[in-house]
Chain A
Amino acid sequence: MQEIRLHGRGGQGAVTSAELIATAAIKKGKFAQAFPSFGPERRGAPVVAFSRVDEKKIHIRARVYNPDIVIVLDPGLLSLLDPTDGMKADGILVLNTKKGPDEIRDKYGYKYKIITIDANKIALKELGRLIVNTTMLGAFLKATDALTLKDIETPVMDRFGAKLGGKNMIALKRAYEEAIIKE
């Protein structure tokens, strides 16, 4: 089972990212969950969302405490919280940042595999808006074998419709190509 935790701010679409991961996995015949950190939504406040993907039925009804993958949608959150909290030893950090993995590791001391992407730049260019949920999925796909670009395409198109879905897929694919991985 892969357990995924997403950190974002209210309005950035972390919950949508979790949802797209789960629906793509389910469409592929896998078992998956996606759920928000339950509570009143406040725009701009730090939020957490969760997803689980497995080959067999998932029985856990609790938050993700020991994630395999952590996705951070907002660069500013890194100075507010430790996204690696509880992470498994072979965990992967997927970060929206202008900085490269080495610079991030120097600054924050993360011991994990790091994937960085300047998702703000891509989202602004391709979508014209600072909503990075789909863009970050491109970088996430680079971190996992569980899902492919093709798997995520239908859920994205279903969710956003032909026109907006197409733009989101362009941003997502760009992030997939441009993301930098450092073991």
Chain B
Amino acid sequence: MGGKRKGIEVSLAIAEAVGQANADVIAAYPITPQTHIVEHLSELVANGELDAEFVPVESEHSAMSVCCGSAAVGARTFTSTSSQGLALMSEIFFIASSMRLPMVMALANRSLSGPLSIWNDHTDTMMVRDAGWIHVFVENGQDAYDHIFWAFRVGEDPDVLLPVAVNFDGFILTHMIEPIEYEKDETIKRYLPEFRLKNALHPDKPVSMGCFGMPEIYTEAQMSREDGVTGSYPTIIKAWEEWGELTGRQYHPIETYRADDAEYCIVTMGSYGETAMEVVDTLREEGEKVGVVKIRLWRPFPFDEFRGAVLGKKALIVIDRAISFGGPGGPVASELRSALYKKEGSPVIVNYVAGLAGRDVSRNDFRNIILEGKAKAESGDTEGFILYGLRG
């Protein structure tokens, strides 16, 4: 079982997980708030603690290009970025999944310009929601550490072959020092087999990758990508189950807290789930029948598990961390409304957008959101979204 319990900054633990996973190639460009991950990895490589190629690129576009090349030869590949960096590499980001190139990205979620902001929300990741990657959201440092191994395991599985983004809240987690249980290298070795890419680029056995797609093939190529992302689901579940057996830490695509007999549930994605649990405990003491539903797996979206967790509830109070301007609400709430459309027993959805660009969402704010959301649900005021804490 476990190795050592350490009090460490989450960014450093992520870098050390990449080291324990024995990555072969790391290509990344430093950007706030992801910087400490890349700095620490470059240290580990320079000190000879990690036998990997660290490619100090001149931009994120190049970082993702290097990652594609490295994954294509069958090297275990890692990168990390945030916000504007993700925007700059977005062209190649889509290509990585279309070429079915496994790699792991620690995506330290941050708002996009403008106005220029270095702080946390989910606008960056929502930009690449439809890029054909597997997306997971973690809620604490342990979770982030664990999911580096899980992401390599899932993405590199011959039945999957997809890039995986581990989303974690910038600053809230990147700059947090907290206890993390490290696993022993032997445990990681047992969990994470060597990466063997069947049709890797090799001079002795030439193959073509990333070819031109005529109208006759583009549709089929996209369907194959859809099948790839959807079809990754059983592997994702199996990888979580085995991690649970090895470490005692169990993860699920949808996780709930005090939700079984709840009439109203707050729905979160990422680190907000933790504060939400705390506030639900307090509200329960006051007699409110409330619970938490946490979306861990964002792509492929776990429709059955989500519906199983929420059908029969009176209302969901969904917190989004991004806006879809002129759209039907926050991206998460929009998807949940679609997932529940015309399902028997589907709860109404009240949508809040909160915590944009690092505006702190305190316990008191969560309490306000849950109680106000409940009142709105009861009065039928459920259209669009509410921008929580908007001044003026």
**B361: chain A residues within 8 A (beta carbon):** 62
Shortest beta-carbon distance, A86 to chain B, in Å? 11
Shortest beta-carbon distance, B23 to chain A, in Å? 26
**B360: chain A residues within 8 A (beta carbon):** 62-63
Query: Interface segment, B75-83, B268-276, B331-339?
Result: B268-276
**B275: chain A residues within 8 A (beta carbon):** 59-62
B residues 114-128 near A (Cβ < 8 Å) are 118-120
A residues 75-125 near B (Cβ < 8 Å) are none
The answer to whether A59 touches B278, judged by C-beta atoms less than 8 angstroms apart, is: yes
Complex-state Cα separation, A8 to B34, whole angstroms: 25
Complex-state Cα separation, A62 to B33, whole angstroms: 17
Complex-state Cα separation, A54 to B360, whole angstroms: 22
**A39: chain B residues within 8 A (beta carbon):** 118-119
Chain B CB count within 10 A is highest, among A25, A33, A59, for: A59
The answer to whether B172 touches A61, judged by C-beta atoms less than 8 angstroms apart, is: yes
The answer to whether B177 touches A19, judged by C-beta atoms less than 8 angstroms apart, is: yes
The answer to whether A35 touches B7, judged by C-beta atoms less than 8 angstroms apart, is: no
Residues of A in contact with B, size category: 20 to 34
The answer to whether A35 touches B363, judged by C-beta atoms less than 8 angstroms apart, is: no
Q: Can you list, as one digit per residue, whether each of B104-136 has a CB less than 8 Å from chain A (1) or not (0)?
A: 000000000000001110000000000000000
Shortest beta-carbon distance, A158 to chain B, in Å? 10
**B274: chain A residues within 8 A (beta carbon):** 59-61
The answer to whether B179 touches A35, judged by C-beta atoms less than 8 angstroms apart, is: no
- Whether B5 is near chain A, meaning CB under 8 Å from some CB there, is yes
Residue from the list A32, A36, A38, A63 in contact with B178, Cβ < 8 A: A32
**B119: chain A residues within 8 A (beta carbon):** 38-39
Q: Can you list, as one digit per residue, whether each of A19-33 has a CB less than 8 Å from chain B (1) or not (0)?
A: 100110111000111
The secondary-structure label for the interface of chain B is mixed
B residues 229-273 near A (Cβ < 8 Å) are 271-272
- Whether A58 is near chain B, meaning CB under 8 Å from some CB there, is yes
Shortest beta-carbon distance, B7 to chain A, in Å? 3
The secondary-structure label for the interface of chain A is mixed
- Whether B189 is near chain A, meaning CB under 8 Å from some CB there, is no
Complex-state Cα separation, A49 to B251, whole angstroms: 31
**A156: chain B residues within 8 A (beta carbon):** none
Known: A26-B6, A27-B7. A58 touches B178 (CB 8 A): yes
The answer to whether B177 touches A33, judged by C-beta atoms less than 8 angstroms apart, is: yes
- Whether B137 is near chain A, meaning CB under 8 Å from some CB there, is no
What total of A-B pairs shows CB separation below 8 Å? 68
Known: A22-B177, A33-B178, A39-B118. A60 touches B363 (CB 8 A): yes
Shortest beta-carbon distance, A35 to chain B, in Å? 5
Shortest beta-carbon distance, A146 to chain B, in Å? 14
- Whether A73 is near chain B, meaning CB under 8 Å from some CB there, is no
- Whether B224 is near chain A, meaning CB under 8 Å from some CB there, is no
Complex-state Cα separation, A18 to B176, whole angstroms: 11
Q: Can you list, as one digit per residue, whether each of B145-171 has a CB less than 8 Å from chain A (1) or not (0)?
A: 000000000000000000000000101
- Whether A34 is near chain B, meaning CB under 8 Å from some CB there, is yes
Complex-state Cα separation, A40 to B32, whole angstroms: 9
Shortest beta-carbon distance, B173 to chain A, in Å? 8
Shortest beta-carbon distance, A37 to chain B, in Å? 10
The answer to whether A65 touches B179, judged by C-beta atoms less than 8 angstroms apart, is: no
The answer to whether B179 touches A32, judged by C-beta atoms less than 8 angstroms apart, is: yes
**B178: chain A residues within 8 A (beta carbon):** 22, 26, 31-34, 58
The residue of chain B having its C-beta at the shortest distance from the C-beta of A22 within the complex is B177
The residue of chain B having its C-beta at the shortest distance from the C-beta of A40 within the complex is B118
The answer to whether A38 touches B177, judged by C-beta atoms less than 8 angstroms apart, is: no
The answer to whether A33 touches B176, judged by C-beta atoms less than 8 angstroms apart, is: yes
**A22: chain B residues within 8 A (beta carbon):** 7, 177-178
**A23: chain B residues within 8 A (beta carbon):** 7, 177
Shortest beta-carbon distance, B199 to chain A, in Å? 43
**B120: chain A residues within 8 A (beta carbon):** 38
B interface residues, Cβ below 8 angstroms from A:
5-7, 32-33, 118-120, 169, 171-172, 175-179, 271-272, 274-275, 277-278, 358, 360-365
- Top 4 nearest A-B pairs (CB, nearest first) are A26-B7, A38-B171, A23-B7, A34-B177
Pairs A–B under 8 Å by Cβ, sample size 12? A22-B7, A22-B177, A26-B5, A26-B7, A33-B176, A34-B176, A35-B176, A61-B169, A61-B172, A61-B271, A61-B272, A61-B274
